[in-house]
Amino acid sequence: MSLVVQKYGGSSVADAEKIKNVARRVAKAKDDGNDIVVVVSAMGDTTDELVGLAYQMSEQPGARELDVLLSTGEIVSSTLLAIALGDMGYKAISLSGAQAGIRTDTAHSRARILGIDPKRLLRELKQGKIVIVAGFQGVTEEMDTTTLGRGGSDTTAVALAAGLKADRCEIFTDVEGIYTADPHLAPEAHSLPEIGYEEMLELATYGARVMHPRAVELGEIFSIPIRVASSFSDNPGTMIHGGMSMEARNKVTGIAHDMDVAKITVVGVPDRPGIASSIFQPLAKAGISVDTIVQNASIENVTDLTFTVAKGELKKAMKVVKPIAEGIGARQCASDSRLGKVSIIGTGMQNTPGFAARMFQALSEEGINIQLITTSEIRITCIIDEASIGEAVRALHTAFELEQAE
């Protein structure tokens, strides 16, 4: 008998009919002779709606209350699924994150899982029950409810798979797996049969929204193979795992894009020790995460410093940076919020020359101006005008022959 952890995302449990569809799929996996733990997200846009309600009460809702509020979304979907399975004649029980033994630190709205105490869960499984765990939440030592950050149910699923030493972890969503690019932008994009953890992590971090990066990271650390597939079909989807074949290693695996990029440039910064820290420390203190940072070579001891933040953080970031820029005698502080980034990702890049050149050529042939470039060992990212993202994704998909990949 295998122990299987299945996770169903918000769009897969968006209404009563869809929850019944999930119940049938879970029942089938149980009938196949497996022990089943199911993790669910909140129904459809519930979490957004709950956030909206909280902000109607206050411009700054308290983090503790907000976490309790948001955790209820997953409680609703988990109980409804348990009720649906019960109605079909299956023994099923819903558990909150706390009841499932998911212990976290106290960082509300972005809590980290410290450990899992699986006693209760194992007891329920032993009694032949299907256990349904509310995703995206845990509990502190003080028994306060925490949430794991938006999209955190994937992390719940992989963490449970690790904690229970499950045989399989399956993430069900509304698309057919991990695609070579967003099919809304590149019609030739197709679902990959398999992908390595490293590449998946870069894809997820740089814009592919199918899986949460933290969940991929956990999967890699605990060597949990993760299958990502559609809850609306029986196609096998994509296996994320560590044992990639050599053949798959020498090319671009996928294109990621992200529209959520804003840029701040501090022009005419004196080039001396301590300047970067005087700008980035206050940003970190304000809780603003900075992505790409580029500093130009200085001419006559003056340089320009450019960095990017999420669009929603631009105003706040400018408020922090402007007075500092004035204080250090910078000439100007400019911003642009109409940017996006496009990335090519593939493990073969680190040992093979020419990937960057091919990427830049493909973009230049479309007349797309590159504003900033960053790289990792297996990724090249260009920051460009947001209006050109669609063209860029299509051009790169063609340039790296992703439509031919099988």
* Site of interaction with ligand ASP (CB under 6 A): 10, 41-42, 47, 73, 135-136, 150-153
Per-residue string for binding with Mg ion, 178-207, x by CB under 5 A?
Answer: ------------------------------
Q: Which does 136 bind (CB under 5 to 8 A by kind): ligand ASP, Mg ion, none?
A: ligand ASP
CB of 158 to ligand ASP, least distance (A): 12
CB of 11 to ligand ASP, least distance (A): 9
CB 265 within 8 A of CB 317: no
CB of 77 to Mg ion, least distance (A): 10
Q: Judged by CB under 5 A, which stretch of 6-14, 61-69, 101-109, 265-273 contacts Mg ion?
A: 6-14
Choice from 4, 5, 8, 10 touching Mg ion (CB under 5 A) = 10
Please, which residue, 302 or 310, has the CB nearer to Mg ion?
A: 310
Query: How many Å apart are CA 165 and CA 116, to the nearest integer?
Result: 11
CB of 110 to Mg ion, least distance (A): 15
CB of 179 to ligand ASP, least distance (A): 19
Please, which residue, 26 or 399, has the CB nearer to ligand ASP?
A: 26
Q: Which does 265 bind (CB under 5 to 8 A by kind): ligand ASP, Mg ion, none?
A: none
CB of 224 to Mg ion, least distance (A): 21
Please, which residue, 150 or 190, has the CB nearer to Mg ion?
A: 150
The closest residue (CB) to Mg ion is 10
CB of 92 to Mg ion, least distance (A): 22
Strand partners, 230: 173
CB of 370 to ligand ASP, least distance (A): 32
CB of 153 to ligand ASP, least distance (A): 3
What lies within 8 Å, CB to CB, of 183 at 6+ separation is 175, 189, 190
Question: C-alpha angle 337/44/178, rounded to 5°?
Answer: 70
CB of 217 to ligand ASP, least distance (A): 15
Helix axes 314-327, 275-285, angle to 10 degrees: 150
Q: Judged by CB under 5 A, which stretch of 37-45, 154-162, 251-259, 295-303 contacts Mg ion?
A: 37-45
Per-residue string for binding with Mg ion, 281-320, x by CB under 5 A?
Answer: ----------------------------------------
CB 333 within 8 A of CB 325: yes
CB 194 within 8 A of CB 239: yes
Going from the C-alpha of 15 to that of each of 127, 172, 174, 314, the distances in angstroms are 29, 16, 14, 36
Please, which residue, 10 or 346, has the CB nearer to ligand ASP?
A: 10
H or E stretch at 295: strand 293-295
Query: How many Å apart are CA 82 and CA 153, to the nearest integer?
Result: 17
Q: Which does 150 bind (CB under 5 to 8 A by kind): ligand ASP, Mg ion, none?
A: ligand ASP
How many residues bind Mg ion (CB under 5 A)? The answer is 2
Q: What does residue 239 show for φ and ψ, rounded to 5 degrees?
A: -95, 125
Handedness of CA 67, 68, 74, 77 (dihedral sign): negative
Query: How many Å apart are CA 107 and CA 146, to the nearest integer?
Result: 7
Edge-first strand order for the sheet with 293-295 is 293-295, 302-309, 254-270, 332-345, 379-385, 372-376
What lies within 8 Å, CB to CB, of 303 at 6+ separation is 269, 271, 295, 296, 297
Query: Which region, left, alpha or beta, applies to residue 300 given φ > 0 means left and ψ of -120 to 50 means alpha?
Result: left
Please, which residue, 70 or 320, has the CB nearer to ligand ASP?
A: 70
Please, which residue, 61 or 390, has the CB nearer to ligand ASP?
A: 61
41 contributes a contact to Mg ion by CB under 5 A: yes
46 contributes a contact to Mg ion by CB under 5 A: no
Q: Which does 152 bind (CB under 5 to 8 A by kind): Mg ion, ligand ASP, none?
A: ligand ASP
Please, which residue, 10 or 207, has the CB nearer to Mg ion?
A: 10
Q: Which does 135 bind (CB under 5 to 8 A by kind): Mg ion, ligand ASP, none?
A: ligand ASP
Say what the alpha-carbon torsion angle 30, 31, 34, 36 is, to the nearest 10 degrees: 0
73 contributes a contact to Mg ion by CB under 5 A: no
Report which of 376, 368, 370 is spatially closest to residue 345, judged by C-alpha positions. 376
Edge-first strand order for the sheet with 137-139 is 113-116, 102-104, 137-139, 145-147
